[in-house]
Copies of this chain bind each other. A is one copy, B any other.
């Protein structure tokens, strides 16, 4: 679906490490499989008990400085690495939080991820990123995996917000926060941006500029954001006294640049009399692909086609024609979601919340001076 714009072909060379002498090569043929030193070995080497080593690890303040030094020396010389599986099994809690992203290739989500990481680090937790890549099977696999790992909690921008798997996690003890989607549900918190309003802003702007034949480019229609933004667009039309059916829908298979190009191809192929004069895209990747394709097929933007994107990713402003877009507070979204998750897993009086942010239209050249 999403693909490199050219097949990955390349010539390659293979070398053994130049420094590998005969001996060293022979020596590492089989990995030494040296039984990694455990807490037990450290205790023996330092001449203390198991419990003391554990204390050095987890409550250093209760062990006397001299003992602690001995233990730390032993750990260093043996190359001790704590076995986190065993720790977690016994202690019952994980120090990890996961963000299951809809599309890691979309800078919007990596910005959200940055916000998540900042909040998590501030609380002493680490974040693992997972990429469902808009594939429901992968999403399901990752949810299973994360539940089995007993992570502290899962942040997710879901493909299918009604997935039964998604509902089950919280009931079984893994807190879940839905990011970039409002969910009306007792099971999780959610942090979202008002996508209906966003769609409305975009279309209102285009209507104000005098556009009449407007296209909506987005899909698949299983993704909540795609639906809401379209519904917002329709609502704007209604408010302006036009039938929502006037919205020309171009459904795409994913929210990627490549799909945007495909839509551009279809759109540019229409006779000028029927071709829309403006397009609102469900995200910036689609908009960028659409823009690129239309320009290369000879359409002028915004004169022949005005384009509005969504997300206002960093590349939107740097596009061939700087893109008008609906901005969302990306990092804040992630930070807030992580904070809700942390609250849920530490505060016994936690109450689920739905936080909604308000989007903002950023007008640039791709719609300016039209008509």
Taking the complex as formed, is A208 at the interface, i.e. its CB lies under 8 A from any CB of chain B? no
- Name A12-28 residues within 8 Å CB distance of B: 12-20, 24-25, 28
Taking the complex as formed, is A105 at the interface, i.e. its CB lies under 8 A from any CB of chain B? yes
- Name A66-109 residues within 8 Å CB distance of B: 79, 81-89, 96, 98, 104-105, 107
Taking the complex as formed, is A162 at the interface, i.e. its CB lies under 8 A from any CB of chain B? no
- Once A149-B85, A320-B322 are accepted as A-B contacts, the answer to whether A185 and B141 lie under 8 Å apart by CB is no
**Secondary structure type dominating chain A contacts:** mixed
Check A147–B104 contact: CB distance below 8 A: no
- Once A129-B128, A318-B320, A356-B13 are accepted as A-B contacts, the answer to whether A24 and B330 lie under 8 Å apart by CB is no
Not counting A4-B331, A114-B131, a sample of 8 additional A-B residue pairs whose C-beta atoms are within 8 angstroms of each other reads: A10-B357, A17-B354, A18-B184, A24-B186, A30-B348, A31-B173, A291-B318, A319-B320
Residues of A within 8 A of B (CB): 2, 4-6, 8-20, 24-25, 28-31, 33-34, 36, 79, 81-89, 96, 98, 104-105, 107, 110-111, 113-115, 117, 126-131, 133, 141-142, 145, 147-150, 168, 171-173, 184-186, 193, 257, 288-289, 291-292, 314-315, 317-322, 327-332, 335-336, 348-349, 351-358, 360
